[in-house]
Structure 1
Amino acid sequence: MDLTELSSPVSRQHVADHARIVAEHADRHAITLESLLALLRSPRLDDRAARNMAIEAATSALIGLRAVTDQERSSILEPVVGAFARLQSDLLPLVRFGDLDVQFVEPPATGRALPGEVAHAARAIVRSSVLALADRSEARRVRIQWDCDGLNLLIGIRDDGAGELSAHDDSIRPIVERVTALDGAIAVSSTPGWGSSVDIRLPLDPPAEPEPLPEFSQLSMRERDVLRLLALGARNAEIAEELLISVNTVKFHVSNLLRKVGARNRAELIATSR
Structure 2
Amino acid sequence: MTETTSPATRRLIAENARFVAELADRHSVTLESLLAILRSTRLGDQAARAAAIDVAAAALVGLRTETDQQRSVTLEPVVGAFQRLRADLRPLVRFGGLDVQFVEPPATGRALPGEVAHAARAIVRTAVLAFVDSGDTSRVRIQWDCDGLNLLIRIRDDGRGELTVHDDSLRPIAERVAALDGELDVSSTPGWGSDVGIVLPLDPPDQLEPLEDVSELSVRERDVLRLLVEGRPNGEIARVLGISVNTVKFHVSNLLRKTGSRNRAELAGLAR
What TM-score do you get using the length of structure 1 for normalisation?
Answer: 0.50
Structure 1 match to 2:72: 72
Structure number with higher relative contact order (C-alpha < 8 Å, ≥ 6 residues apart): 2
How many angstroms does 1:171 deviate by? Answer: 1.3
Q: Distance in 2 between matches of 1:172 and 1:154?
A: 17
Aligned: 1:156 with 2:154: yes
Structure 2 match to 1:110: 108
How many angstroms does 1:170 deviate by? Answer: 1.6
Which letter does structure 2 place at the counterpart of 1:183? Answer: D
Question: Residue 130 of structure 2: which of 129, 132, 136 is its match?
Answer: 132
Identity of aligned residues (%): 72
Structure 1 match to 2:80: 82
Aligned: 1:172 with 2:170: yes
How many angstroms does 1:133 deviate by? Answer: 1.3
Q: Is the 8 A contact 2:144 2:153 kept in 1?
A: yes
| Alpha-carbon displacement from aligned partner over 1:228-270 (angstroms, at most 9, x marks no partner) | 77xx8xxxxxxxxxxxxxxxxxxxxxxxxxxxxxxxxxxxxxx
Q: Is the 8 A contact 1:162 1:192 kept in 2?
A: yes
Q: Distance in 2 between matches of 1:165 and 1:106?
A: 25
Runs of 4 or more above 4 Å deviation: none
Q: Distance in 2 between matches of 1:128 and 1:90?
A: 12
How many angstroms does 1:206 deviate by? Answer: 2.5
Structure 1 match to 2:195: 197
Q: Is the 8 A contact 2:180 2:205 kept in 1?
A: no
Counterparts of residues 18-33 of structure 1 (less than 5 Å): none
> What secondary structure is seen at the aligned counterpart in 1 of 2:175?
helix
Counterparts of residues 115-264 of structure 1 (less than 5 Å): 115-207=113-205
> What secondary structure is seen at the aligned counterpart in 1 of 2:156?
strand
| Alpha-carbon displacement from aligned partner over 1:14-37 (angstroms, at most 9, x marks no partner) | xxxxxxxxxxxxxxxxxxxxxxxx
Higher Cα Rg: structure 1 or 2? 1
How many angstroms does 1:207 deviate by? Answer: 2.9
> What secondary structure is seen at the aligned counterpart in 1 of 2:168?
coil
Q: Distance in 2 between matches of 1:152 and 1:98?
A: 31
Q: Distance in 1 between matches of 2:117 and 2:152?
A: 12
Structure 2 match to 1:35: none
Q: Is the 8 A contact 2:181 2:200 kept in 1?
A: yes
Aligned residues between the structures: 151
What's the Cα RMSD here?
2.7
